[in-house]
Structure 1
Amino acid sequence: MMLKPFVYIQNLNLSYRNKAVLKDLYWEVNVCQNWVLWGESGSGKTSLTKAIAGLIPSQGSIEINYNAQSKLPAEVLFVESWYQFKNLEGVANFYYQQRYTSLQANDTLTVHAELVAYGKEKGLHFDLVEPILEALGFATFASSQLIELSSGEHKKLQLVKALWLKPQLLIIDQPYTGLDAASRKNLNTLLEQITAEGVQLILICNDLEFPESIDSFAEIIDGQIVSSFSREIGDLSPEIHKKKIPAFLKESPIYSSNDMVKMVDVNISYGEKQVLKNINWEVKAGEKWLLQGPNGSGKSTLLSLINGDHPQSYANELYLFGNRRGSGESIWDIKQHIGLISPEFHWYFDATSTVWKCIASGFYDTVGLFQQLPYSKRAQVDELIEYFGLTENKNELLTALPLGKQRLVLLARTIIKNPELLILDEPCQGLDQQQTKHFNQLVDELCSNGMTLIYVGHFESQLPTCIEKRILLEKGEVKVVESLNTEILS
């Protein structure tokens, strides 16, 4: 007797804002198969898997044949590409700087409390989660509030829950997003362990570091599944036609000082927890830096000091753009020098903003556009929209776009004012391979005209070639400061 497919999909149709995403899609996931879904941003990968998990409506047939003899929960668990948490009053909306203020004390659950609640809800033994926490380097975050976690730490919390539950079907959207190299390796080991116990996987990712148990691959093209059984899959994204960079971005920034950033014995603590320890670092005008370190090493906190968001900057010897922090400048005086993108900034961005208004707001460093732009600035917004291939999306809500396109919009917002200092904190999260390549080529072109750069990236293969120097943090301390050559980054 032939076994029924574990997941059997027929004539699946799904539309998003009157646009057909999946068209009469047919797909079988057989028992013991583990899949990677590749492909272009916006092709429907997330929509398909959310439909399988029953999270969004669709037309057609989705049949899931659970194993009644299995001890694993007869459940499909979908792990989002990023995590939306709530405070103790059930509110999910936070503002960006709130992560660094003391006003949110005890406003959100701690990691430990979140896990206790999840374990109770799912009937799980708490002692079984501890090896997972250790393997992902997350055991030390038990007392941290959810709002204090970086994007990589939030990803780990989602993964801890999923690995602890071990559902019969586990779907992870962008499993490696925000994870350092060691965590990615350990995650694959954990995924190997749970597949050996009977969990089946569907991973949505364009990465090449997936676990050995992955034996099947699929891409969505024109709303249909195109499958393969080979690991030798190259770049699945179409080549982006290279356009001329807008003329206003070819001009060198006007520098207010040769000293962009200077930190002297900087220390940051939350109660007894010291996050940064005796940091000494200088960034000169025109330099291109790579900032690296494991998850939880203090990278996000370090950047929050530079972009003016951290209140403890006043208690330290910190110089920004030639001025001692706390010498009378406002947060907006600082931000006018900086273009910033980070996963956290993306989380908290105004959900009601259109693509055009989002990009235009970069001129004023506001989360939303609250004033009319002069003609010259409106023309620059239109030029950048055309350059990024967003013309057909310019009047859509930012949140209506696929995640990859949302990130491109925010990247356009980041560079619209041709800033002195460009801070790119994992800017390519959510982008497919070709979009990543395209953006990093843009960064190289921008920086050839003298722009200063601080770039955070875990993947050595996804970095601009212009980077000259590297600073490495470990447990809040500077471990390495070095000059690089392009061969190291290639």
Structure 2
Amino acid sequence: MQPVVQIVNLNLKYQQKAVLKDLNWTINYGENWVLSGTSGSGKTSLAKIIAGMQSAIGDVKINFHTDSHLPAEVLFVESWYQFKNLEGVANFYYQQRYTSQQAKDTLTVHAELVGYGKENGLHFDSVEPILAALNFSSFASSQLIELSSGEHKKLQLVKALWLKPQLLIIDQPYTGLDAASRKNLNILLDKIAAEGVQLILICNDSELPSCINRFAEIKDGQLREVNSIENAPSVTEKHSKEIPDFLKDSPVYSSQNIVKMVDVNISYGEKQVLKNISWEVKAGEKWLLQGHNGSGKSTLLSLINGDHPQSYANELYLFGNRRGSGESIWDIKQHIGLISPEFHWYFDATATVWQSIASGFYDTVGLFQQLPYSKSAQVDELVEYFGLTESKNELLSALPLGKQRLVLLARTIIKNPELLILDEPCQGLDQQQTQHFNQLVDELCNNGMTLIYVGHFESQLPTCIEKRILLEKGEVKVVESLNTKTRHCEIRSNLLHSTI
């Protein structure tokens, strides 16, 4: 029997830089692969080439099984979901997510799935068990623009698991998913693999479906098979650079009360998203915010960011002032450095790396004014600190996803904000980049910065976190102090593997 995929002497250049060099790969029937490697190594490009979405020099052959009842196609599930409004346009703005109940300008999850089912000749009753397994059934009436990153990932996965193509390639399958959803996803992947679907998962995760029986990594443009992800050659750890001087000083606090919520409620029609939330964040505190997908984390953060219009109808204090007392959204944002998957989606991809970082001074999604010399020098320092000097004049959209995220991470800290909100900041980063950034977070917070950090993965949390709030179905389930590093690690490990 011929191999499912046979790649011979594949070469790919991007802007005169060789990404893939005479790469060879044979995938036989019954093999399910994990493809790992550092950010920017060419994993996603290789997947797109196999799926026929990107051209390259070399020989790529796909041999479908003619006797299979499964669709004879390669489905590539991208690392995040690209969707459009009812008019076929995708140029959304960030705050639009929270006003979409009035706009009604995107499809609901149910309508999207109905359309997908008709397009591919699928029976709707066969998708319902998948929705239930991923705890996604309750989102049927939600508009696409309202979904969080984890919920968008679930929608991508639901479609792929429903279609069951002969070859399924998933880029970062676990991004944004809580532990329960990751476990159920692995069960679903094992099930479709038993039905004949062959898998290529692009990730660096160790908790994988049991059907995975082959491992490879891309390094220096070449693909080499390894025994497992753990046994793949590790990246040499970079020497930690000294943090720029302008970030060594403590932020100038306008108030010791950063956030105060008193019985906050948020509803969309009959659907209540947050229920009687009371929470206080003091200057200098470091909080971990956790909860299942759909528990209300993103909505809670949108109140703090000043993006949610219902903040005025609640008793909410930010930086010592009650919301609705005359301050604008931009007054609020001056105090905050933010990164989130959703913000990344809507960021101006036409800005250069340097412009993207500089825009953090003005809380815009692009740079629209000339910087004074002192601010330009600070941008240069961060560009060098994050190892982006060679890319500083490139478009943000031209970089690998991991480097794009590093650029936006640099943007969040450029003004040394009073409050740093990091909503799953390490999505798309490799292990070394994740460690590097969390070391930076620890160093910043040693100098008094206030932190709210959202993260599902134990390996992707900074050590400085002192307190924890857990949401469950829109309500506060747990608020606790993590008094020692030992207790922190115990609680973090237990909860990440059970309740989150």
Say whether the fold is shared (TM-score over 0.5): yes
- Aligned partners of 1:170 and 1:199 also within 8 Å: yes
Structure 1 partner of 2:26: 28
Contact 2:36–2:229 (8 Å) recurs in 1: no
CA positional deviation for 1:237: 2.9
Residue identity matched to 2:240: K
Read off the aligned partner of 1:194 and give its amino acid letter: I
What corresponds to 1:6 in structure 2?
A: 4
Q: Output one character per residue of 1:235-282: Cα deviation in whole Å (capped at 9) or x when no partner.
A: 633322210000110100010000000000000001111000000000
1:228 to partner: Cα distance: 1.7
Q: Give CA-to-partner distance per residue, 1:151-206, whole Å, 9 cap, x none.
A: 00000000000000011100000000000000000000000101111111000001
Map 1:392-471; keep pairs closer than 5 Å. Answer: 392-471=390-469
- Amino acid of the structure 2 residue aligned with 1:319: Y
**Aligned length in residues:** 488
- Of residues 160, 164, 167, the one that matches 1:166 is 164
Q: Which amino acid aligns with 1:283?
A: V
Q: Quote the residue 2:121 is aligned against.
A: 123
Which whole-Å CA distance do the structure 2 matches of 1:234 and 1:461 have between them? 18
Deviation at residue 229 of structure 1 after TM alignment: 3.2
Looking at structure 1, the residues matched to 20 and 300 of structure 2 have their Cα atoms a distance apart, in angstroms, of 43
Q: How far off is 1:231 after superposition?
A: 5.3
Q: Cα gap change, 1:479/1:443 in structure 2, threshold over 3 Å: closer, same or farther?
A: same
Correspondence for 1:478 among 476, 491, 495: 476
Counterpart position of 2:236: 238
The root-mean-square deviation of aligned C-alpha atoms, in Å, is 1.0
SS for the counterpart of 1:406 is helix
SS at match of 2:411: helix
3-state SS of the aligned residue for 1:170? strand
1:271-290 superposed matches below 5 A: 271-290=269-288
TM-score normalised over the length of structure 1: 0.98
Cα pair distance change 1:231/1:69, threshold 3 Å:
same
Q: Tell me what 2:363 maps to.
A: 365
* Residues 3 and 26 in structure 2, CA contact (< 8 A), matched pair in contact too: yes
- Partner residue in 2 for 1:43: 41
Q: AA paired with 2:485?
A: T
Shift of the alpha carbon at 1:371? 1.2
Shift of 1:439: 0.4
Partner of 1:86: 84
Report the equivalent of 1:54: 52
- Alpha-carbon distance in 1 for matches of 2:32, 2:397: 30
Residue 340 of structure 1 is matched in structure 2 by 338
- Residue 103 of structure 1 and its aligned partner are, at CA, apart by 6.4
Report the secondary structure of 1:256's partner residue: coil
Following the alignment from structure 1 to structure 2, what is the Cα–Cα distance between the partners of residues 235 and 252? Answer: 39
Instruction: Give the corresponding residue for 1:304.
Output: 302
Is 1:39–1:236's contact at 8 Å kept on the other side of the alignment? no
Kindly provide the amino acid, as one letter, of the partner of residue 209 in structure 1: E
Aligned mates of 1:102, 1:336 — CA distance in 2: 25
Please report how far the alpha carbon of residue 11 of structure 1 lies from its aligned counterpart in structure 2 after TM superposition: 1.1
In the alignment, is the contact (CA less than 8 A) between 1:98 and 1:104 conserved in 2?
Answer: no
Q: Match for 1:318 among 316, 319, 324? A: 316
Q: Would the aligned equivalents of 1:468 and 1:483 in 2 still touch at CA under 8 Å?
A: yes
Q: In 2, distance between residues paired with 1:192 and 1:366?
A: 44
Report the equivalent of 2:246.
248
Q: Which letter maps to 1:421?
A: L
Question: 1:352 and 1:267 mapped to 2: Cα distance?
Answer: 37
Question: Alpha-carbon deviation of 1:92?
Answer: 0.7
Are residues 1:19 and 2:17 paired?
yes
d(CA) in 1 for partners of 2:485, 2:138: 36
Identity, % of aligned positions: 82
CA displacement at 1:18 relative to structure 2: 2.3
Instruction: String of CA shifts for 1:303-338, please: whole Å, max 9, x gaps.
Output: 000010000000000000000000000111100000
Residue equivalent to 2:497: none
> Is the CA contact 2:204–2:229 (under 8 Å) kept in the aligned structure 1?
no
What do residues 24-78 of structure 1 show as CA deviations (whole Å, max 9, x unaligned)?
Answer: 1111011110111111100000000100000111111111111111111111000
Alignment partners' CA distance in 2, 1:129 and 1:240: 46
Contact 2:41–2:218 (CA under 8 A) maintained in structure 1: yes
Aligned to 1:192: 190
For residue 246 of structure 2, give the secondary structure of its aligned residue in structure 1: helix
1:104 and 1:459 map into 2 onto residues whose CA distance is: 35
Matched residue SS, 1:115: helix
Match of 1:258?
256
Q: Gaps (5+ residues) in structure 1?
A: none
In structure 1, distance between residues paired with 2:456 and 2:232: 21
- CA separation in 1, counterparts of 2:485 and 2:164? 42
TM-score by length of 2: 0.96
How many Å separate the matches in 2 of 1:39 and 1:72? 30
2 CA distance for matches of 1:356 and 1:60? Answer: 35
Residue from 380, 385, 388 that aligns with 2:386: 388
- Give the equivalent residue in structure 2 for 1:295: 293
Give the distance between the partners of 1:333 and 1:230, measured in 2 at CA: 50
Letter in 2 for 1:366: T
Give, in whole Å, the separation in 1 of the partners of 2:45 and 2:232.
23
**Cα distance in 1, alignment partners of residues 230 and 155 from structure 2:** 31
Paired residue secondary structure (1:290): strand
> 1:454 corresponds to which letter in structure 2?
I
Query: How far, CA to CA, are the matches of 1:246 and 1:479 in structure 2?
Result: 39
> Take 1:232 and 1:312, find their aligned partners in 2: how far apart are those partners?
46
- Equivalent AA in structure 1 for residue 222 of structure 2: Q
Kept in 2, the 8 Å contact 1:286–1:451? The answer is yes
User: Would the aligned equivalents of 1:237 and 1:432 in 2 still touch at CA under 8 Å?
Assistant: no
Closer, same or farther: CA 317–235 of 1 in aligned 2, 3 Å: farther
Q: State the Cα deviation string for residues 371-393 of structure 1 (Å, max 9, x = none).
A: 11111111110000000000000
| Structure 1 residues 356-413: Cα deviation after superposition (integer angstroms, max 9, x where no partner) | 0100010111111111111111111000000000000000000000000000000000
SS in 2 for 1:185: helix
**Using the alignment, how far apart are the partners of 2:358 and 2:243 within structure 1?**
17
* 8 Å CA contact 1:38, 1:236 repeated in 2: no
In the TM superposition, what is the alpha-carbon distance from 1:233 to its structure 2 partner?
Answer: 2.2
Distance in structure 2 (CA, Å) of the matches to 1:97 and 1:400: 25
Output the CA distance in 2 between the equivalents of 1:329 and 1:443. 29
SS of the residue corresponding to residue 103 of structure 2 reads coil
Deviation at 1:104, TM superposition (A): 5.0
